[in-house]
């Protein structure tokens, strides 16, 4: 008897229900850290400095529903804004599915909780400083490669 495939393997991103779409977010918080862009190459560099709305202990947005009004350049990812997904971290479920890849083995949809993700060092909780505590000139000292986080 064939095994039933999970929804993310059978449903296009654009066709997912709101709940399915939201469940793809693993809650890592990596998209909520500040990034620096090389103006010559367009390369994006992640930092260990978080958006002022992110709780640094839980990696949850403290004002998720109204985040756009407090942080106007916050990108709210939807099926219509997937062209923004290229700057999401390599581990991000939206980016991975958009690129034709599968969800990581540690993803909460596979494991049922966040423990494996945290154990694999893929959550920023407890590893970031909020932006209000870091001077802009010091930002280059805060670069951090979240896609290869073995050094946390």
The residues of the shown chain that bind ligand SF4, judged by CB under 6 A, are 25-31, 77, 88-89, 92-94
Full DSSP string of 91-104 = T-HHHHHHTT-PPP
CB closer to ligand SF4 out of 68 and 138: 68
Q: Which of 94, 83, 89, 81 is nearest to 12 (CA)?
A: 94
**Chain-centre distance of CA 34, in angstroms?**
12
Least Å distance, CB 151 to ligand SF4, is 19
DSSP state of 49: E
Instruction: Give CA–CA dist 4/2, Å, rounded.
Output: 6
In the complex with ligand SF4, the residue whose CB is nearer, 89 or 149, is 89
Least distance from ligand SF4 to the Cβ atom of residue 85, Å:
9
Residue nearer to ligand SF4 on the CB measure, 3 or 104: 104
* Least distance between ligand SF4 and beta carbon 89 (Å): 5
């Amino acid at each position: 008897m064939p095994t039933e495939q999970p929804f993310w393997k059978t449903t296009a991103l654009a066709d997912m229900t709101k709940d399915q779409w939201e469940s793809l977010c693993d809650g890592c918080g990596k998209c909520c850290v500040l990034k620096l862009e090389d103006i010559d190459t367009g390369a994006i560099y992640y930092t260990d400095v978080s958006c002022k709305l992110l709780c640094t202990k839980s990696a949850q947005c403290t004002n998720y529903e109204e985040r756009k009004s407090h942080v106007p350049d916050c990108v709210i990812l939807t099926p219509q804004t997937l062209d923004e997904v290229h700057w999401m971290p390599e581990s991000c479920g939206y980016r991975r599915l958009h690129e034709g890849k599968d969800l990581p083995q540690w993803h909460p949809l596979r494991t049922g909780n966040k423990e494996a993700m945290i154990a694999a060092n893929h959550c920023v909780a407890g590893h970031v400083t909020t932006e209000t505590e870091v001077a802009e000139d010091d930002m280059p000292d805060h670069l951090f490669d979240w896609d290869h986080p073995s050094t946390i």
